[in-house]
Amino acid sequence: MNSIDAQNVIDKTEQTLLAYCKQQGLFKSGDRVIVACSGGADSMALLLFLLRCRRALSIEVLATHVNHGIRGAAADADEKFVSRFCEDRSVELFLYSAKRAGVQIPAHPSEDWARTLRYTWFDELAAREEAHIATAHTMSDQMETILLRMARGTGLHGLGGIQPHRGVYVRPMLCLTRGETEAYCAALGQSYVQDETNARDTYARNRVRHDAVPALLSVNPAAERCIGRLCRQMQQLDAWLYAEAAALLQAAATSRGYDLQMLRDAEGPVLDAALHSLVSPVRDAEEKYVSLLRFLVIKGEGALQLTQDVTYKVQKGPEGKELVRISPSGTAPAPAPAQPARPGVYHLPGGYTIALRVEKYEDFLKNAPIFKKDLNCCADYAKISKSIMLRTRQPGDDYRPRDRHVRKTLKKYYNELAVPMNERPLLPLLADGSEVVWLWGSGFAEGFAPDRFTREVLVIRTEKTEV
């Protein structure tokens, strides 16, 4: 590859990645981003891209490497490779070795065992460092994942594939194929390691990669991009369906559970999505559990034990039968599923009521008197993404308290406020991805206050009733 061709590859790749990061809203100014770097082509391409473009993205870039302890000297060599790269470029690196950590390594470790080990470490690291974890999943990984899920049995949600943003995890490379990450490394003159186990058919993903993927590429060389487009469409459809499901649960909500007749009257796919939302916080929402809960709703009597601690039961309420969640200590309301934060009134589990209203700023200021606490309940509507969600806490959430000029993980902020642990799961908030825009009891985050250019404001009023 001559220098002109190499520069064209570099420019095209980085423009594509920057556009994707912006489109998906993966990063905010000041984010700390830890790249999960195995030393392979995909993760080296990701680390190189973020280092080269960190100023454009206004982020701090760090790295982490996991030595699973299952490949002996080869794994140790990969660790040294990544360590040397980071040392040469003054990148802070967090190393994790299963052996040094005293982890008991199985005789025949599975893909799931290795993945659990990695993500347990990533979760711990992200919380400790108040950072996001960037993984190097590509469009090629997306294709393999979809094929595996289809073979094992999946629904609409599973067809959405790997999400670009989930909790503390961001995946900037989902717009590239594996071949493109290798070309980017080559154009930059960057070597990378090869995991010899990728050539074996020991793991199911490798068999799909070696057999099914080439067969599909022979039918259509653009198969990876076509499946990537399908995933994006499924993600959009899934988001719409679950917004409809959230609206159903919101409308059917009672003080103890959900009105059974309203659930019965819902369209089938919307009801299934709503029931999936009730099952998924408790256990893996396999089809059989959603089907059993649907049967319970249609039958109108009985109970379904999902776990040792959670049972859904049909009970008589003041205005008819209700679907109620029961725990050993009595009725334990589950958090309402995430839903788009549109203007309206929301009655949420735990006795929380939120009213969202958009009005002209000049009209808001005329109502009065306006106290400081009132200003904390309104925000410049133009500064807020129209895709914000009304939900409760999720891993990776962070919040910028107004007038504090700091960013805190939601967990640390709750600790600072001494919010009781039993109240935290149900406290409502508005969020754009993992960025908390508004928080019950604290108001809007820094950066959303009205100013002299404000025309419309989003006003939030709240009420808490005892349940």
pLDDT by residue for the chain (467 residues), tens only, comes to: 788 888 999 999 999 999 999 998 898 888 899 999 999 999 999 999 999 999 999 999 999 999 998 888 888 999 999 999 999 999 999 999 988 988 888 888 788 888 889 999 998 898 888 889 999 999 999 999 999 888 888 777 788 899 998 878 999 999 999 999 999 999 999 999 987 776 677 778 889 888 889 999 999 999 999 999 999 999 889 888 888 888 898 888 887 789 999 999 998 899 999 998 888 777 776 778 888 999 999 999 999 988 888 889 999 988 889 998 887 655 556 777 788 888 888 888 888 899 999 999 888 887 655 544 555 688 999 888 877 889 998 877 888 888 887 778 888 899 999 999 888 888 999 998 788 999 999 999 988 988 888 999 999 989 888 75
What gap in Å lies between CA 382 and CA 71, rounded to an integer? Answer: 53
Output the pLDDT for position 372.
Answer: 45
> Quick check: helix, strand or coil at residue 461?
strand
Output the pLDDT for position 308.
Answer: 83
The DSSP code for 211 is I
Look at the block and give the residue holding tokens 């493109």: 180
pTM, full prediction: 0.74
What gap in Å lies between CA 31 and CA 60, rounded to an integer? Answer: 6
Alpha carbon of residue 212 to chain centroid: 29
Q: Which residues of 206-231 are buried (b: 16+ CB within 10 A; e: fewer)?
A: bebbeeebeeeeeeeeebbeebbebb
CB distance 227 to 142 below 8 Å: yes
Output the pLDDT for position 371.
Answer: 47
Write the CB contacts of 189 (distance below 8 Å, at least 6 apart in sequence). none
Write the CB contacts of 461 (distance below 8 Å, at least 6 apart in sequence). 354, 355, 357, 377
